[in-house]
Amino acid sequence: MYDQLNYINVSTLLFLISIIGIFLNQRNILVMLMSLEMMFLAVSFNLIFTSILLDDVTGQIFSLLILTVAAAESSIGLAILVVYYRIRSAITVELMTLMSG
Amino acid sequence: MYITVITLPLIGSLISGFGGRWLGRYGSSILSTTCVGISFVLAILIFYEVGFCGTVCYISLASWIDAEMLSVKWGFLFDSLTAVMLVVVTSISTLVHLYSISYMETDPHSPRFMAYLEIFTFFMLVLVTADNLLQMFLGWEGVGLASYLLINFWFTRLAANQSAIKALVINRIGDFGLSIGIFSIFYLFSSVEYLSIFSLSPLFQNYYFIILGYDINCITLIGSLLFIGAVGKSAQLGLHTWLPDAMEGPTPVSALIHAATMVTAGVFLMIRFSPLIEYSTTILTILTLLGSFTTFFAAMAGAFQNDLKRVIAYSTCSQLGYMIFACGLSCYNVSLFHLTNHAFFKALLFLSAGSVIHALSDEQDMRKMGSLSQFLPITYSVMLIGSLALVGFPFLTGFYSKDFILEISQVSMNSNLNDILGNIACWLGSLSVFFTAFYSFRLIYLTFINSTNSNRIFINSIHESNWIIILPLFVLALGSIFIGYLARDLFIGAGTNFWKTSIFNLPINSIQVEAEFVSINLKWLPFLLSMLGIVIATIINVITKNFHKNIVFYSFFTFLSNKKWYLDLIYNRFIARPFLDFGYSISFKNLDRGFIEIIGPFGLSNLITSWANITKQLQTGQITHYLFFMVFGVCLFLVWINLSYHFLLSVTLYVVLLFFI
């Protein structure tokens, strides 16, 4: 039981680290995307661990699905980034304030 | 006959008011005068039946209000008191109507004027014939309304508007007291009918209302509240300021309303409620004091007025004071006797003043008159009769009532009564006799005898008015001479049974018999004082015209008295103005447009806008800030789910969050 809880703790820790990574990072959008990927990873981990824990395959199917989605998402995100860079020739997060209220 | 006397003026008023366009000037005048004249004849018959034959008549027409305990009927009570008032009101009203036909001849709105005069007569008749307080109040408010309409008759004049509003508002202060009085009577007696109230009032002699922890004798309280009404209507000191200003109306109006009828309503109320106020010594004392102060004050203020009508108005105020303080000495029949006599000679004075004003092309300032005795001999002689009656010249009308009031007040000095307040009233009343004589003859001198100060143009066109104006003057002059002598034994004669139950007098308060045995010197006193007044007026106006003007005290006194003791100014500055300021700056600006607006529509919309601005600024455009709020929101949601078991805590959390924003 300990082991299983540890697994869940690890994945939660990974999730929190990625959140902190997003928060603390003020400049680089690439780091943000990386943190986002790490979030997906943590969620996938969590699903896999729980599927093993509950002896149910649905969690693994979901994690596979998430991997696919994450890959698609990061590709789209990077594409948007490239387009943005082409226009603004900078990807500093602080300068992206066109949509202020 | 009994109801017709009331309804005739109403019918006449409606016809001449609404149909004036078709009836024309003379049609409506003649119609209304006829209506009031017939009702005068009927009033005489009623006076004969009720007064002489002793058949008190009570007519109950229909139910007016019928709700649980409260049952008010349209009832008419014709007892001696009512009969006297009926004769007074209808006779003066008829003569004034007749007078107005000619006086208002050139006025474009004379049908309206006649309608107003008649509606006034109708309301006055309702007032005096009512058998319950509510119906009396209808007449009471009605004469107030009619007085507003009549003072404001020339509605294009600003001064007329102002004084009409003043009359109505100041009367309304008294009406407020009166209505509270009616409420408390209903609370105490569970009835507003005179018969129930008067037969029950001895039982409540020692009954107390507890108000804010104080025991207040209920009879005293009710009497005081009714007296507040009488103060307003009868222009007693305190609420008297409307009466002199009411002279802005046409002169017949002043004669009808502000001399003979409307102002007597307050005195009538006091006399009518004699079975109630007899049981409270306090209220009788209040009546005596306030009445005598009114007498004295008004007589002094009238002494140096320069407006012809205003002098007579102050004289009215002064005489009303006499009536009230005769009531306070519980000689109600004397008070009513003076009321009757006063109606005749005061109407005479006003109508002859109107004749003078008419002859002088509407000049009212006495300083611009003079030597009219040669141009207007008839007016001069009737006005002299009126003035002599007013000052109580022996064997004229005023002598029989006014001097008797003073003799009664002398009785209060008797050692067994030991009435100090009565003493004050006696002295003030006696001094007022002096001032009454002074201003009456000052008026006569300035208007008729002194050399003229008028323009030649006016002098050339002076003429005596036609017979329609002269006739009422003549009748009233006869009344002023003979009424007092003829009615003396009937009204105040020893042991007269004319009043029957309409006036009640506790034996312990009765001092009328003692008044017959006042020492001869005291009986001469009022006459001597009035002669002194006449002599001083003569000295000032005839013998030396200038010496008194050098006396500082005299000129100061004249000035002060001419300015009505600055009471109007004091009222305006310390009562009316603060109230208006309060109304504008506190109720209007601070409350209505201030506080309520801020917590209401205006403040709320402002708050929402400002909050919207603040929340708008949260969207900085920085992705990191958005991320922060997203994560913060998710965390908050989780927290809320956990706290939903503790409702209060979650609500608090939300409130805290709101303030963050």
The verdict on residue B221 lying in a domain is: no
Beta-bridge partners for A92: A28
Structural domain containing residue B638: 623-660
- pLDDT (0 to 100) of residue B224: 93
Instruction: Say whether residue A28 is in contact with chain B using an 8 A CB cutoff.
Output: no
Residues with Cβ within 8 Å of B147's Cβ and at least 6 positions away in sequence, in order, are: B120, B164, B167, B168, B171, B246, B257, B258, B262
CA angle in degrees (0–180, nearest 5) for B296-B297-B300: 85
Identity of the amino acid at B299 = A
* pLDDT of residue A98 exceeding 80: no
- pLDDT (0 to 100) of residue B415: 60
Please answer yes or no on whether B624 and A100 come within 8 Å at the CB atom: no
* pLDDT of residue B661 exceeding 60: no
- pLDDT (0 to 100) of residue B424: 81
For B288-314, the pLDDT digits (tens) are 999 999 999 999 888 888 889 999 999
Please answer yes or no on whether A96 and B618 come within 8 Å at the CB atom: no
Q: Give the tokens for residue A35.
A: 């943190």
* pLDDT of residue B50 exceeding 70: yes
For B595-613, the pLDDT digits (tens) are 888 888 888 898 899 888 8
Beta-bridge partners for B211: B214
Does B633 lie in the same domain as B600? no
- Residue B319 DSSP SS3: helix
Which of B66-70, B79-83, B458-462, B571-575 is modeled with the greatest confidence? B79-83
Residues of A in contact with B619 (CB under 8 A): 99-101
- pLDDT (0 to 100) of residue B213: 85
Residue of B nearest to A98 (CA): B621
Does B541 lie in the same domain as B557? no
Residues of B in contact with A101 (CB under 8 A): 616-621
Closest approach of A25 to chain B, Cα-based (Å): 8
Cβ-count burial B580-596 (b if 16+ within 10 Å, e if not): eeeeeeeeeeeeeebee
- Residue B517 DSSP SS3: coil
* Whole-number Å distance between alpha carbons of A18 and A12: 10
Cβ atoms of residues B312 and B349 within 8 Å: yes
Q: What is the mean pLDDT of chain B?
A: 87
* Whole-number Å distance between alpha carbons of B320 and B337: 12
Closest approach of B659 to chain A, Cα-based (Å): 20
* Whole-number Å distance between alpha carbons of B38 and B4: 9
Residues of A in contact with B638 (CB under 8 A): none
Closest approach of A100 to chain B, Cα-based (Å): 4
Does B497 lie in the same domain as B528? yes
* Whole-number Å distance between alpha carbons of B8 and B46: 15
More confident residue, B473 or B426: B473
For B647-659, the pLDDT digits (tens) are 666 677 677 666 6
* Whole-number Å distance between alpha carbons of B102 and B29: 9
Chains A and B form CB pairs within 8 A to the count of 33
- pLDDT (0 to 100) of residue B544: 67
Please answer yes or no on whether B621 and A96 come within 8 Å at the CB atom: yes
Q: Say what the ipTM of the complex is.
A: 0.83
Query: Mean pLDDT across the stretch B46-74?
Result: 89
Does B343 lie in the same domain as B430? yes
Identity of the amino acid at B59 = I
Q: Give the tokens for residue B343.
A: 């109606």
Does B591 lie in the same domain as B532? no
Taking Cα atoms as reference points, which of B45, B103, B3 lies closest to residue B350? B103
- pLDDT (0 to 100) of residue B645: 66
pTM of the model: 0.83
Instruction: Say whether residue B622 is in contact with chain A using an 8 A CB cutoff.
Output: yes
Q: Give the tokens for residue A78.
A: 């990077």
Q: What is the Rg, in whole angstroms, of the alpha carbon atoms belonging to chain A?
A: 17
Last residue of a domain, one of B521, B545, B569: B545
Taking Cα atoms as reference points, which of B276, B261, B352, B273 lies closest to residue B309? B352
The verdict on residue B189 lying in a domain is: no
Please answer yes or no on whether A101 and B619 come within 8 Å at the CB atom: yes
Residue of A nearest to B629 (CA): A23
What is the DSSP code (8-state) at residue B451? Answer: P
Last residue of a domain, one of B504, B520, B545: B545
Instruction: Say whether residue B619 is in contact with chain A using an 8 A CB cutoff.
Output: yes
Residue ranges of the alpha helices (H) in B329-369?
332-359
Last residue of a domain, one of B511, B526, B545: B545
A100 closest CB neighbour out of B621, B627, B628: B621
* H/E run at residue A60: helix A58-88
Query: Mean pLDDT across the stretch B410-430?
Result: 75
Residue B639, number of CB atoms within 10 A of its CB: 13
A2-96 maps to which CATH number?
Answer: 1.10.287.3510
Does B594 lie in the same domain as B456? no
* pLDDT of residue B417 exceeding 90: no
The verdict on residue B83 lying in a domain is: no
Does B552 lie in the same domain as B534? no
Cβ atoms of residues B271 and B324 within 8 Å: no
Domain borders along chain A are 2-96
For B73-127, the pLDDT digits (tens) are 999 999 999 999 999 999 999 999 999 999 888 888 889 999 999 999 999 999 9
State how many domains chain B has: 3
Does B434 lie in the same domain as B370? yes
For B129-174, the pLDDT digits (tens) are 999 999 999 999 999 999 999 999 999 999 999 999 999 999 999 9
Interface test with B, best of A15, A22, A24, A43 (most B CBs within 10 A): A22
A100 closest CB neighbour out of B619, B627, B631: B619
Using CA atoms, how far residue B369 sits from B352, B363, B452, B454, B642, in Å, is 14, 8, 6, 6, 99
Please answer yes or no on whether A22 and B617 come within 8 Å at the CB atom: no
For A12-49, the pLDDT digits (tens) are 899 989 888 887 877 788 888 899 899 999 999 999 98
Cβ atoms of residues B236 and B324 within 8 Å: yes
